């Protein structure tokens, strides 16, 4: 598991990027839930951690594709493929992320 940060360092409505391969974005919703997904939009190389968070959805800052933080599903084009989700635990005030074993859906031209 990767230690992302202390929970109190990630304010509700904020996100951070873990420099893993590929990068992971960690989000804390306004309701206080914490989620982790691949940080790269599946349409084009853009950081989802730089996107707009609303409820359990993040909107890509480049072309406005939206991804469900719970499932990784895409619900707005131009992206067509989901992002991977990663298991998150909060232990002793620390946000821990377990990277998914599934292959990532990277955009064209991006490789590991």
The predicted structure's pLDDT at residue 112: 79
For residue 110, pLDDT beyond 90: no
Domain range 2-98, its CATH number among 3.40.50.720, 2.102.10.10, 3.20.20.330, 2.60.40.10 = 2.102.10.10
Tens of pLDDT, residue by residue over 20-66, are: 999 999 999 999 999 999 999 999 999 999 999 999 999 999 999 99
Q: What is the pLDDT of residue 5?
A: 97
Which H helix or E strand runs over 37? strand 34-38
pTM above 0.85?
yes
pLDDT one-digit tens code per residue, 67-96: 999 999 999 899 999 999 999 999 999 999
């Amino acid at each position: 598991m990767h230690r992302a940060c202390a929970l109190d360092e990630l304010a509700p409505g904020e996100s951070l990027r873990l420099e893993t391969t590929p990068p992971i974005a960690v989000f804390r919703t306004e309701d206080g839930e914490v989620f982790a997904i691949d940080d790269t939009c599946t349409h084009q190389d853009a950081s989802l951690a730089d996107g707009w968070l609303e409820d359990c959805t993040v909107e890509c800052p480049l072309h406005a594709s939206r991804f469900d933080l719970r499932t990784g599903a895409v619900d707005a084009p131009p992206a067509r493929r989901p992002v991977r989700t990663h298991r998150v635990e909060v232990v002793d005030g620390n946000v821990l992320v377990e990277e998914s074993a599934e292959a990532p859906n990277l955009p064209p031209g991006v490789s590991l």
